[in-house]
Homo-oligomer: A and B are copies of this chain.
Amino acid sequence: MGYAMTTSSLDGIMEQLECADALDGLQTASEALRNHYQIDHLVYHWVSSSGQQYGCGTYCPDWVARYLDAGYLRIDPVIVGCYQRFHPVDWKRLDWSSKAARAFQKDALEHGVGNQGYSIPIRGPNGQFALFTINHSCHDEAWAEFTESNRRQLILLAHAFNQKALELEPERSPMAAQALSPREVDAMTLLAVGYSRAQVADTLSISENTLRVYIESARHKLGALNTTHAVAKAISRGVIVV
């Protein structure tokens, strides 16, 4: 791995990423960075709310297809682990103990994924979640040294990748998220912490009928099918925080 990299080259890649078109830029930058760092793979993986995913990077198409088909999103310890974390994490520190996880790991190795990995969770507005991952095949010590010495740069890269990727979903812009009124937020928030309608109405000192209007209008604004769905959407969009 290229410990003696020139920062000028890295800056060049970052600047190019910031200016380029989103779809092109992300893929190009992934490959440029893989070469720059001399590692096996570099991946940006957007895990969207509705189960949709967007990914770009240097994994071979076979593996990507297999990942999607087999529903690995649900059992990949990297996803599961990073979803609960803020700081970048080495794959070794994740929980690979379950049978499904080990099977996944084996499959990944057979598809050219390196034995070492380092993933940075990134979060955007409205509950957006993404992972910026590098991985490689090498010994633990070399990997630890590599990740530690490049940690800050990788965080910035993750940030830059996500910023670029957000351009791909214009509906996630401030405009798209239909804002809830204060009362609607109150209602959703209290429902989300387990209050019944009667309790919420009581807490807010309004009639239950009034409360129902809020819930209904919040539901419509959120495009939800029922109260539970509305609360779920409100949470994953970050409209309310529980």
* Chain A interface (Cβ < 8 Å from any Cβ of B): 47-51, 73-74, 79-81, 83-87, 121, 123-129, 152, 155-156, 159, 162-163, 166, 173-174, 177, 182, 185, 189, 191-196, 224-229, 231-233, 235-238, 240-242
Partner of A229, one of B48, B129, B185, B194: B194
Please indicate the chain B residues that have their CB under 8 angstroms from the CB of A48 in the complex: 241
Candidates B79, B86, B173, B193; contact of A232 at CB < 8 Å: B193
Residues of B within 8 A of A189 (CB): 49-50
A-B contact pairs, 5 of them (CB 8 A): A51-B242, A85-B174, A191-B232, A228-B231, A235-B235
A240 to B240, CA, bound (A): 17
Which residues from chain B contact A83 at a C-beta distance below 8 Å?
Answer: 125, 238, 241
Nearest residue in B to A175 (C-beta to C-beta)?
A: B84
With a CB–CB cut-off of 8 A, which chain B residues contact A85? 125, 174
With A194-B228, A231-B232 as contacts: A156 and B152 at CB distance below 8 Å? yes
Complex: A212 Cα to B85 Cα, angstroms: 31
Are B127 and A241 in contact, with the CB atoms below 8 A?
yes
The 8 closest A-B pairs by CB, nearest first: A194-B225, A194-B229, A49-B241, A123-B123, A84-B174, A83-B238, A192-B232, A86-B124
How near does chain B come to A101, taking the closest CB pair, in angstroms?
12
